[in-house]
Structure formats: C-alpha cells, structure tokens
Structure 1
Amino acid sequence: MSPFTRRDVLRAAGTVAVVGAATASVGAPSALSAPVTAGPFRHGVASGDPLPGGVLLWTRVTPSNESLPGSGAGPEVTVTWEVSNSPEFRRIVSRGSTATGPWRDHTVKVDATGLEPATTYWYRFRMGKVVSPVGRTRTAPASGAPVDGLRIGVVSCANLQAGWFSSYRHLAAHPDLDLVLHLGDYLYEYAPGEYQARDVVVRPHDPAIEMTVLEHYRRRHAQYKQDADLQALHAVAPFVVTWDDHESANDAWSGGAENHTEGTEGAWQARRAAAQQAYAEWMPVRYDAGGQLYRRLTFGSLASLSMLDLRTYRDEQASGPTDPAVDDPARSITGEAQMDWLLNGLSSQDAQWKLVGNPVMITPIRFPSTLSTAELGAMQQLLGTTTIDGVPYNVDQWDGYAADQSRVLRHLRDRAISDTVFLTGDIHSGWACDLPADPATYPVNGNSVGVELVCTSVTSDNLDDILRVPPRTASLSVESAFKANNPQVKYLDFDSHGYSVLNVTPAGLRMDWYVLTERTDPRSTVARSQSWQVAAGTQKVTPAGGQA
C-alpha cells in the first residue's frame, strides 16, 4: 500500500466547499419523469437479476412520517405488486403481496415468477390506493435458446458528491437495453468533502458523516435512490449488480479496510454486516445479507454472465508492489470456492460468450518510469498505491494477487477457451485490453487468451480532476506512457466520465464509450468517444468503426 493512504491524501488536501441547500435542490432533468419526492414511493422502482421465467422486483415505501430510511420506525404494511405485458396493464400476468416494515427498512423485494422468456414486461406496486411509478423489465432468454443479440449498459463508480448522474439519464434513453450491469461503487461511504479532488461538493452526503453503522448505510442508499436520473435508469431495464469496496469502505478485504479504524469505528465485522444488510435491502439483487453474492446468469446460447465478489473473501492487500506477498500462492482475491466456481464457468460450453462482471482490473499492467513527479503523485492518488517501475501498480487489483491472476489466465490458455471478456469498473478510466497469459512474452511469443473492457466512472474523480487540469490535456502523455509500457493496452482514457454500451452477437462483441461534457452540470450532454470490438474466436480487441 501507499506510505500514506487515500484517506490521508484526500483529507490533507484541505477543506472542500460544500454547495448549500439551494444548489443541492436543483432538479436534474430525467429521461422519464421527475422523481417522486413525497408519498409512499419516493425511492422509485427497480428490477434485477432476470431469469428466463422471472425477475426480481424492488421498491421502498414510506407509509408514515416517522418511517424514514434508517429510522427503525413506522408500521408494518402490506404492498401488492403487478406485472403486465403492456404498459397500460390491460392484462395482469403475475401478481402478489408481501409485508414490509422497519425490520427491513420498509423495502420490498419480490421474485415475480411464471413469466415468459425473452419478454418485456411492465410492473408496479400498490400500497392501499396509492400506485407506484411504472417500471419496465425484461426476462432472460430460455436456456440454450438461440439469441441474435444482447445490449447491456455498463456503469460503475457513482459518487453523488462529485457530480450529477447525467450518465444514468443518457443511458436510460438508449433503446432496447436488455439489462444494466453495475460493476460496483454504486454509492460511497465518505462524509461531505472527504473524497473530492476539485473544489465543490455538488450534493453533500446524508448523513453528513462517514457511514459506519446500519442507520448510516440505509440513509445513504435512500439518498442515492432519490436521484432522478438513477430512478429513470432503474425504471427502464433490470440491473445486474455487484459491489466493490465503497459500498462498505475503501480497499475492503475479508478482515478490514483501508478506510476503517477499529479503535474509533468499531469492529470491522459489525460494519461489514451493516453494509451488507443495507445492500440486501436496498438493491434489486438475489442476495440475502451474509449470503453469497457471486452468481451466474445465462442468456440463451449467446452468453453467460459471471458476477464476482472480490471483497468478501480476499486476503489483505500487500503492503506495496515489492512485497513478497504479491506472489504468495496462499493469498487469494477470490477465495478458493469462488475461484473453482469461476474456472468451472469459464470451461462451460453452455454459452458462447463468457462474460465476467469483474469489480477490479485483471489485466497485468506495468507502471512506466517516464512520468513526472506531479503525474506520479496524481496516479498514486487515483490508484491508491505506490508506483515503482517494472512491478504491479495497484495491489488492490488482481495484480496484487499474482497467483490468482495467473491461475485464471493460464486456465484460459491451457484449455483453449475462447470468447472470454472481463467487464470491469473501479479505476475511473476507460480501457480496452488484450489478456496475455504471459505478459513478458506478449505480443512476440505470447497470445491473448481473452479481453478486458473497463468502463469509466459515472462521476468519481479521474486523473484530470486530481491534476486540476482540463480533460484530455496533461493526461495524454500519461496514457501514451502506459500504452508504450503495456502493449496489451489498446485503448486508455484517464479523464472522461460517462458510461458504456455493450452489444453482443454470435459474430462479435462491441463496446461503445460515451463521455459527458461536464459531470457537475445536471444538463450535461454526452457523445460517443470510442468503440472497440472483439471478433468471435479471436481473443483480441480491435478498433470498431461505423455506427454504435
């Protein structure tokens, strides 16, 4: 790890101006309608984890004035739900009712079953005579069924304090999304001003302290779920999610976190249990607190999607890139059971494309030696690690767990597994990379065994934010140095905020990166920046032209 932590860097940077209530109340335009800010359904609706015969439905109700998120107060109520094959609800194809109350923070999570595969549905909730906003969702294709295409929105790293969620609004406007893949850092644990590189907190966190106990985590989830653009995206497509670290605390591992101090913030296991309980309550995911988050979804014969949990079972991060622990085969980022599950899934012939929802980068990367002192410092703050030429640059990623990293890449090589694509978040930047089993011999004598595509952040700080320079200026030389030192890296953007759209067909896979003009502008426009593709059977990423 760094000789000073990310928390130290950010807190030592000085106080950050917090925009007052007048600015915080400015409404962001929504792809659908403005969010409900009063009444029982003020946190919107959502769906997730689609199966061929069903989908998970979610909402949260506020049945009384005292039933505020995290309060532990309010009555038990019954909520009904309905699913229809038309937005007008002319015919109800599935319905039910469930009880909720303060024991689950008045959230509602139900599994709507008996649905047809590969079908679009609309859903809504009722509490008494009040009806929720309507959501749209879609079931997965039947197992083994031929599928012509799959369109996936890809997002990660959405810090509400750092900007508006315009990326969500623009992604919600894309036609025919089959699902949205959220790769972690759905929310952040910090108090106002603790995680900002520039000078303004656009929307201060609630509660106005670092979240460490169940009430805090519930209130923070509730604050994020009241964002207009996030509500819009949840309402148009099912989400498939995993967590990274900030859903609990920065650089979390099985026994602690960089951003956790036992002496003043209590026991880590209690804090993690609180974070996991709030996540289970507030996210549209097939997960119960303390259970298993990693899981696999399939989309006919076209694709499987393996969602990893790289925080719950990992060993503590190495102290730095020269720490012998980096290469210790006894250390794991996945844990043994999850590793076996992942490798078995990669070997499966049930689907052509093996997609992996991967919270942190797996591509082996070596840090260039040509950066200036300022660039080195900025990269250290962005990546939260030390930087030494010729060794792994980020011990929080797969590079810090070299045995596990090598085990996966050599499994792909030794079994000649084709069409594996890791879809990754975390690092606040856009990447398209080949995956060499042996980086030392790539590309002269080593072949690529897969591909990694990394989406940038929705709002969280990029390199230009840390350097306090305009986008696409100082970082260009840094990107060039990284690509020169890492021939497996074909595309790299250390600056932009936005989202990606992944199109999967039997012939190939294509990722389009979309970037915002300004994350702090609630009406920010967006433009397609880059497009990269993977032809079936090639295990290599190449530029893609033409229309997205």
Structure 2
Amino acid sequence: MTLTRRSFLKASAAGFGAAVLSLGLSGCVFDSDDDDSVDVSFDHGVASGDPLSDALIIWTRVTPQQPVSSLKVQWQAATDPEFINISHDGEAQVSADSDFTLKVDLQGLNANTQYYYRFKAYGKTSPTGKGKTLPTGNVEQVKFAVLSCANYPAGYFHVYGEVAKQPDLDAVLHLGDYLYEYGNDGYATADAAALGRLLPQDNSTEMLSLEDYRKRYAHYRTDTDLQAAHSHCPFIVVWDDHEITNDTWRDGAQNHNEDEGDFTQRKLYALQAYFEWMPIRNVADKERIYRRFDFANLVSLYMLDTRVLARDEQLSFADFDLASAPGQAQFASAISSSSRALLGSEQLTWLQDGIMTSDCQWQVLAQQVLMTKMHMPVEVLQLLGSLQVALASGEDTSALLTQANALFAELAQIKTRILAEDPTVSANERARVETKVPYNLDAWDGYAYEREMLLASAVAAQKDLVVLAGDTHNGWAGQLRTDATNPIAANQAAGVEFATASVSSPGLESYLSLNTQDPQAVAQIEQVITLLIDDLTYNNLVDRGYLTVTFTAEQAQAQWHYINTVKDSNYQVLSTRSKQLSVNAGSRQLIS
C-alpha cells in the first residue's frame, strides 16, 4: 500500500511514543517505589534536549528483562546533584507502543539554570543527567558543541566522550546522521569485526521496518561515550539522510529500491523511531522538524530540515555533458532553477521572517549540508569521478592517484600565478582553473536558487549570519557570498559557514586514498583544495572530531577539535591539528 500525504500525517501524529508534561511537584514519592516485581534496567542512559527558558525535555528507556505489556516509571528534577531541592517529579506508564521509551517535558523551570534529573523503575535508578535552560535578557556568552555523522561499525565514539568533557556548553547541536541504515556488509564496516563493533545478529541487515530502526537506536545508545555526552548537556537535534536512508529526498532516496517496499512507509517508521529515541519535543507533523531557539539577546538558533519536508531529487552529473560549453550552460541553468526546492517555500519564508524580525545579535542556521560554494575545476571533478568509480569496483587506483596529484599541482601553480597577476598566464590556462562546477549536488550547490534568496535576505536584514553544517565527514570553513547575478544583493558578503568533521564516518581521505601518516602530503593537498575553491577558507580532509562555536556580542569563534584515531580503543587528542577561526560582529568576514 502506498501512503497518501493525508494518511502519512494521520499516522505521523499517532506515532509519537510516551511523552508527558511535568508542571512541578506531583506528590510522587520517588524513594518509596521499592516494587521489584519486574526486573528492569536502564541500559541506554538518559538524555535531555530542546531547552527553552522555562522548559526542558528529559528522556530515558526502561528495558524489561521479561515480556511485559507496560511499565511504570518515575522521574525527578532538581537544581542540585544531590536532589535536595527538587522542582519536578511524577510517574508515567511506558509500553512496547513507544519501545519503552519515555520523554518528559519539564515546564515552569527557571531561566539560565542547571537542572539535574533521574528516573526510577522497580527499584532501579537511572544515571543522573544534567540540562540547562536557556537564558533571557542579556547574556555574555553562548557556547555550542557541533556534531554529525556517527557510524557505529566504522569506529569508536571517542568524539562523544571528548564532548562530555567540554565545560560551559549551553547545548550540543547534532546535525544528523546520528546513525546509519546499512547492515554489517555495508558502508564503512570493513574494520567492524576487528574492533568489536559489528551490529547485533538480530539487527545486522539494512534498516527497513520499525523494529529495525528501533533496534539500531537501541544498539547505538549502549555506547558509553554517547551516553556520557547525552547526560552531560542538552542535545538540540535535526536529522540528515541516514536516519532514513542515504541521499533521502522528499519522495525517495538513492538507497531505497522498489523491492524494499513503499518509501513513504519506510520514512514513517524511521521518523517514529527518531521521535521515540531522541530528546526532541513532539510536534503534530513529524516531518516539520524545523524550529527556533533564542539564547537571550545573543543568538537566534534555527534548526533546519534539508532532507525530508521539501527537498527535490538530487541532480546527477551523468545527465550533463560537462566537457562542452552547451552542457555546462545547461547544467548551470538546472542547478539555479527557481523550481528546485531544498527548504521549500514554507520553511524558507519562516526562516527569512525570523532573521528579519529577530532581536538577537547572531543568526545561526544549524543544518545538514554545506552552503559554501564548493566549485572546483571541471578537470578535477572528472578525475575524482573516475577515481570514485574505480574505488567502488575494486580496481587498482594507483595510476589515477598519480594523475590526480599531478593535476592538483599543475592547477595550483596556475592559480598561484593568476593571484600574482602573472601576465604570462594564457587564456587556456585561465580557463582550466576558472571553468568550475560544484562537486556535490547533494549540498546547497545543487539548489542554488534558494541559497541566493536566503543569503540576500540576510544581507537585506543586515544581520550577522553563521551557518553550521555536517554531512561531509570533514572540517570546513567558508565565506558565504551572493552571486554577481543576485537580483536583490549582488556579490555581497552574507555570512560565514563552519562545518564539523564526523564522529567516526570516514572522510575524503578514503576517496582520495590519502596517506594519513604523511602530514606533509596531507597538508599539501588541503592547501591545494583551499586554493582552488574560491570561497573556501579552511579544510581538514583526514581527521575525525567535532566543532565548538562560542558567541559573544563582539565575535563568533569556531574551534575544530580532532582525535588521532577511531580504530583503537586508545586515542589521543590532536592538539596540533586544532584550528580556530572567527568572525567579528558586523563584518561577515572570516579571520584567522
């Protein structure tokens, strides 16, 4: 059966899981529950999320050790870790209908206050978590940690453990790919057996059913580093594609085939499990995940959806002859078409109105895919395409890699001469460097019209715009500019973008077969990439890690944090690879 939009909305509204409001003290005596008639455990830790100035979501899952229809769960919240000053308590029932998960929306809280919370069921008490409400009025600083792309079989979640050590965080922003749909024989699983990171036997194939998605979340949430991060600080989350399946768009996905059933039904299962397992406030239509959080007068944070609600199907390079001028013109017209949606008119209008009317200094867009124009010389893109095909088919890539290194060096030399205004640069050489196309049509580069409308709105509003991104598994920083042809604000600096590396998923180093043990070679290719992409300021192509961004009235400062491996239980922080960049209020220009 194919779901209609109406039936999807009806099913979506019905499948939220157990969520209750807590307005204060209910008279529930937390320590009096000594009923041990059911053997339970808190195997998946606790979490908080979606903080407001007067509210906070808290979450847990109770695991029954025997078949039961329902369980009762109690909760407490207090302003001290000893739970002397209790502000909220209560009791609720959970069942298999919600996969025995529970979300409590604590309301009537004090602004800018640290709360501690815990749960109890049948004589067992959960770990204690902590979460801070949003500030109001004036505030000196807001600090986020930014995460994305955590693949359990690909390696250890050390990055989550590092985030749990970060002091003074106001929130953790998870930009999606919280988990991956593939089975034990899928993407980035080559080392899983050796690392002890294989998926369990009853969840070892690609996720398709509601049970599949639930079990995958359950397995990921047994990771102690992930549990530590969740208990440390509120998460504010959005999905990317792998929470459903690779390269999801509005009505389908690259990694969904007809023999896997109805895509809309699969999406419904994925979204239901997401809302059950993530500390996110429930909404009437689970597709509309976009929302806003104001941190006093300093930051308006917009959590955006670029995947599920409105995205049109990605364009394909195979449909265009990029070696010819007519093909390049056809391609340029397609990617800039006003008919192609990423956010969609509803979400875009909501965002533009928010930016225009916000009283906060910084307008921060937390979303999935790169917004910076990542335009590369056509020659480079064609060679990388050949390399990717060869890697996918298991062919020997040594000749292609030698060719790629030579091409990078040659084009970098030409670009350096152009920047030095060398009069001997020929027209053909200039064309080789300046004839460019975007390298990733899944990103904003494949939906250029909406990007131009959004950036023009930020320029017109005279607001300080910072975009946060994930998805690519690598660290990036870019300058956001409108096109010279933008009818509203032509060729204007509109803001900056900071993109985080992945928690564990492999990055471009795997596609380029970079020797990660040769720092000089890595640095050279990173410098060449930055040189050839005009709007790119920084990149890290090889390391796993996360990003922190600290906002004050004067400046937004980004810092990339990296670790040396996800392939060993022992690891080190790569302080030599850490990077800081900032943007001053009112400048819209990146500075080192």
Partner of 1:8: none
- Match for 1:270 among 265, 270, 288? 265
- Match for 1:113 among 99, 107, 111? 107
> Partners in 1 of 2:211 and 2:271 — Cα distance?
12
The answer to whether the 8 Å contact 2:153/2:191 transfers is no
Partner of 2:293: 297
Q: Which segment is superposed worse, 464-473 or 245-254? A: 464-473
- Match for 1:75 among 69, 72, 96? 69
Partner of 1:491: 538
The answer to whether the 8 Å contact 2:583/2:589 transfers is yes
Partner of 2:373: 364
Deviation at 1:197, TM superposition (A): 7.8
- Match for 2:166 among 166, 170, 174? 174
Change (3 A) 1:330 1:517: same
What does 1:10-409 correspond to in 2, within 5 Å? 39-66=40-67, 74-142=68-136, 145-196=137-188, 199-200=191-192, 202=195, 203-206=197-200, 207-262=203-258, 264-288=259-283, 290-312=286-308, 313-320=310-317, 322=320, 323=331, 324-369=333-378, 371=380, 375-377=384-386, 390-409=436-455
> Partners in 1 of 2:85 and 2:391 — Cα distance?
51
Please, which runs of 5 or more residues in structure 1 have no aligned partner?
A: 1-37, 67-73, 544-548
Deviation at 1:391, TM superposition (A): 1.5
| Deviation readout 1:494-548 (Å, 9 max, x if unpaired) | 11101111111111011111111111122212134101111111101111xxxxx
Change (3 A) 1:284 1:268: same
| Deviation readout 1:232-265 (Å, 9 max, x if unpaired) | 0000100000000000000000100000002x10
Q: 1:458 and 2:503 equivalent?
A: yes
Please, which runs of 5 or more residues in structure 2 have no aligned partner?
A: 1-38, 321-330, 393-403, 405-431
Change (3 A) 1:537 1:153: same
Higher helix share: 2
Partner of 1:21: none
The amino acid across from 1:285 in the alignment is: I
Deviation at 1:475, TM superposition (A): 4.6
> Partners in 1 of 2:386 and 2:88 — Cα distance?
56
Deviation at 1:350, TM superposition (A): 2.1
Partner of 1:512: 559
Q: Which segment is superposed worse, 83-92 or 387-396? A: 387-396
> Partners in 1 of 2:527 and 2:380 — Cα distance?
10
The answer to whether the 8 Å contact 1:333/1:401 transfers is yes
The answer to whether the 8 Å contact 1:197/1:465 transfers is no
Change (3 A) 1:380 1:302: farther
The amino acid across from 1:163 in the alignment is: G
SS of match in other structure, 1:90: coil
The answer to whether the 8 Å contact 2:553/2:585 transfers is yes
Following TM superposition, where does structure 1 have runs of at least 4 consecutive aligned residues deviating by more than 6 angstroms?
379-383
| Deviation readout 1:359-391 (Å, 9 max, x if unpaired) | 1111112113564987555578999xxx99512
TM-score when scaled to structure 1? Answer: 0.85
> Partners in 2 of 1:374 and 1:195 — Cα distance?
22
Deviation at 1:440, TM superposition (A): 8.4
Change (3 A) 1:391 1:348: same
> Partners in 1 of 2:559 and 2:246 — Cα distance?
29
Q: 1:535 and 2:544 equivalent?
A: no
Partner of 1:9: none
The answer to whether the 8 Å contact 2:515/2:522 transfers is no
> Partners in 2 of 1:434 and 1:381 — Cα distance?
33
Partner of 2:429: none
SS of match in other structure, 1:161: helix
| Deviation readout 1:461-492 (Å, 9 max, x if unpaired) | 11223344432465544433332232321111
The answer to whether the 8 Å contact 1:63/1:75 transfers is no
Q: Which segment is superposed worse, 485-494 or 275-284? A: 485-494
The answer to whether the 8 Å contact 1:464/1:474 transfers is no
The amino acid across from 2:57 in the alignment is: L
> Partners in 2 of 1:475 and 1:376 — Cα distance?
20
Deviation at 1:315, TM superposition (A): 1.0
Alpha carbon RMSD of aligned pairs, Å? 2.4
SS of match in other structure, 2:550: strand
The answer to whether the 8 Å contact 2:355/2:463 transfers is no
Deviation at 1:427, TM superposition (A): 0.7
The answer to whether the 8 Å contact 1:44/1:231 transfers is yes
Deviation at 1:199, TM superposition (A): 4.9
Deviation at 1:40, TM superposition (A): 1.9
> Partners in 1 of 2:46 and 2:116 — Cα distance?
11
SS of match in other structure, 2:145: strand
> Partners in 2 of 1:391 and 1:369 — Cα distance?
6
Deviation at 1:200, TM superposition (A): 4.9
- Matched residue count: 489
> Partners in 1 of 2:304 and 2:101 — Cα distance?
25
TM-score when scaled to structure 2? Answer: 0.79
| Deviation readout 1:286-321 (Å, 9 max, x if unpaired) | 134635211001100010110001111211111238
The amino acid across from 1:338 in the alignment is: Q
Question: Percent identity, aligned pairs only?
Answer: 38
